[in-house]
């Protein structure tokens, strides 16, 4: 006869780590709750604790999604702000450490201990530099990928400036990307105008004419096939109302494929090939990942 005491053990576990986590979250206080004031401690525990490692994982997820999705995804403003600040700080940190490393041998030159010291200092420095390079590569690749998409959909993105759209352009793009988009499309337009368009009859001079035989504004391929990995909600399993349980006891998200009028189950931990517009909402809510 077994008595299940897992929850009691979990309770004890939580108690021992409670102090630790509260310290952490207080330290990150000023960055965590921008714009939300008056949170009592009970609520505080549910807030995601911001850490450099967590942020990097999120950045990787954003990077992968951006690389594989056909549309331009919203820009992660806060995340990028934090990451860029950290890159700057780490850069300065490395600078400082390497300065110290240069000074060290001159101070106590002859002793063998100092050369040993210098050697042991070198490894962390190398690691830090390599790690920074890795992070910077991801950032650069992420931004370049977004720029390529901005080029491709520049006419389509223009429509986002209208009043009726859900997402304003400033949410979708960062400040620098906005500037790039504006100026790049202006340059393109100028080139086309000078080269060809001014020789055309006036009614054919528009570059965003959608009434002709072929649409000129390129929309993202909404129903392109993508590979998805279903990772489910973070930590708490019962928090998501969309999650259901099938007869095998596995949790899944029901999605409907419009054209075929068909239901499909995305079980957690599974890998699927799906049309992008079917899983788009789940991607934006971070329940599935593109791979």
| Residues contributing to the site for another protein (CB under 8 A) | 213-218
Identity of the residue, 214 or 235, whose beta carbon is nearer to another protein in the bound complex: 214
Lookup: tokens for 173: 């793009």
Identity of the residue, 200 or 216, whose beta carbon is nearer to another protein in the bound complex: 216
Identity of the residue, 220 or 233, whose beta carbon is nearer to another protein in the bound complex: 220
Least CB distance to another protein at residue 129 (A): 23
Identity of the residue, 136 or 215, whose beta carbon is nearer to another protein in the bound complex: 215
Residue count of the chain, please give it.
291
Tokens 């999120």 identify what position? 58
Least CB distance to another protein at residue 218 (A): 5
Least CB distance to another protein at residue 128 (A): 26
Rounded to whole angstroms, the Cα distance separating 252 from 257 reads 15
Least CB distance to another protein at residue 214 (A): 5
Least CB distance to another protein at residue 217 (A): 8
Least CB distance to another protein at residue 216 (A): 5
Identity of the residue, 27 or 187, whose beta carbon is nearer to another protein in the bound complex: 187
Identity of the residue, 49 or 216, whose beta carbon is nearer to another protein in the bound complex: 216
| C-alpha R_g of the chain | 26
């Amino acid at each position: 006869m077994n008595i299940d005491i897992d929850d009691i053990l979990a309770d004890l576990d939580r108690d021992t780590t409670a102090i630790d986590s509260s310290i952490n979250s207080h330290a990150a206080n000023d960055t965590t709750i921008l714009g939300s004031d008056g949170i009592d401690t009970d609520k505080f525990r549910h807030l995601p604790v911001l850490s450099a490692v967590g942020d990097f994982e999120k950045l990787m997820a954003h990077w992968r999604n951006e690389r594989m999705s056909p549309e331009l995804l919203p820009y992660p403003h806060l995340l990028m702000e934090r990451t860029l600040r950290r890159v700057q700080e780490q850069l300065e940190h490395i600078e400082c450490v390497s300065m110290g490393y240069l000074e060290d041998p001159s101070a106590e030159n002859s002793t063998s201990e100092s050369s040993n010291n210098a050697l042991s200092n070198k490894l962390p420095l190398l690691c830090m530099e390599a790690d920074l390079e890795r992070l910077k590569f991801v950032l650069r690749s992420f931004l370049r990928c977004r720029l390529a998409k901005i080029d491709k959909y520049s006419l389509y993105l223009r429509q986002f400036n209208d009043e009726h759209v859900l997402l304003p352009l400033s949410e979708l793009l960062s400040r620098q990307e906005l500037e790039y988009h504006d100026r790049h499309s202006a340059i393109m337009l100028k080139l086309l105008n000078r080269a060809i368009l001014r020789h055309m009859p006036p009614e054919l001079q528009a570059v965003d004419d959608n009434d002709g035989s072929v649409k000129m504004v390129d929309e993202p391929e909404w129903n392109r096939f993508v590979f998805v990995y279903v990772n489910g909600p973070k930590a708490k399993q019962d928090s998501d109302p969309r999650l259901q349980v099938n007869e095998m006891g596995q949790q899944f998200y029901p999605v409907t494929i419009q054209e075929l009028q068909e239901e499909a189950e995305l079980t957690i931990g599974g890998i699927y090939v799906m049309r992008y517009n079917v899983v788009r909402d789940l991607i934006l809510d971070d329940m599935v990942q593109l791979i």
